[in-house]
Structure 1
């Protein structure tokens, strides 16, 4: 679990690179939770829809902190990553470059889980 104010990497090709969490309904969050993020750094290669300082919605896809499952197994990542969403709740990027935990499907994000190539 991570707190509000934490920094994240974007796990898609939406144009955002680094994001900062600015709002969450409750204090701590987990994989699959919806957050409000502020874009801190943007890719320079092409023109994207996102600009530095814009506020977007995002879903947590990976966390550095170990996540325990009811089966007794656990997983953790090297980075805190999120998937950027548009106003309708659809992914802004067309390609996701993260590992997909099954918690995304369980928490109501089956479209995101289907776009991810590697799941565990």
Structure 2
């Protein structure tokens, strides 16, 4: 589960390395987010890039969490890191490539572009 203040890795090629969660979107009382939820993030660390700079604010979709998630078929998935993919204000991907494993729960939340760019869907 991701909440305000959580540090996440970035799973795309925007040049950002780590981001910090500023706000969990989805209602005024929503305190934590899981796979497929949208959050607002601030770039904490970035490589030299034209796309993003440290301190900029973006929307992001959570693609991996350390907290386990149980599927309806009783399979439990858990990742080694918390990771997100950056979006612009219109909800489009900022990067052009996705790194790492992506869970198929994103398909139910209509993030088909992320799934199509990923090399492996779990």
Report the TM-score range of the alignment, normalised by the length of the smaller protein. over 0.9
TM value normalised by structure 2: 0.92
Runs of 4+ in 1 over 4 A off after TM superposition: none
Q: Tell me the TM-score normalised to structure 1 length.
A: 0.93
* Residue 51 (1) aligns with residue 53 (2): yes
Match of 1:35 in 2: 39
- Structure 2: distance between partners of 1:28 and 1:14: 25
Q: Tell me the number of residue pairs that the alignment of Structure 1 and Structure 2 aligns.
A: 118
Structure 1 residue runs without a partner (length 5+): none
Give the RMSD, CA atoms, in angstroms: 1.0
Alpha-carbon separation, structure 2, partners of 1:115 and 1:10 = 15
Matched residues in 1 for 2:9 and 2:40: separation? Answer: 14
Which residue number corresponds to residue 23 of structure 2?
23
Q: How does 1:41-120 map to 2 (within 5 A)?
A: 41-44=45-48, 47-120=49-122
Deviation at 1:39, TM superposition (A): 0.3
Contact 1:61/1:98 (8 A) holds in 2: no
Give me the whole-angstrom Cα distance separating, in 2, the residues matched to 1:15 and 1:69.
32
Separation of aligned partners in 2, 1:103 and 1:75: 11
**Inter-partner Cα distance in structure 2 for 1:48 and 1:81:** 21
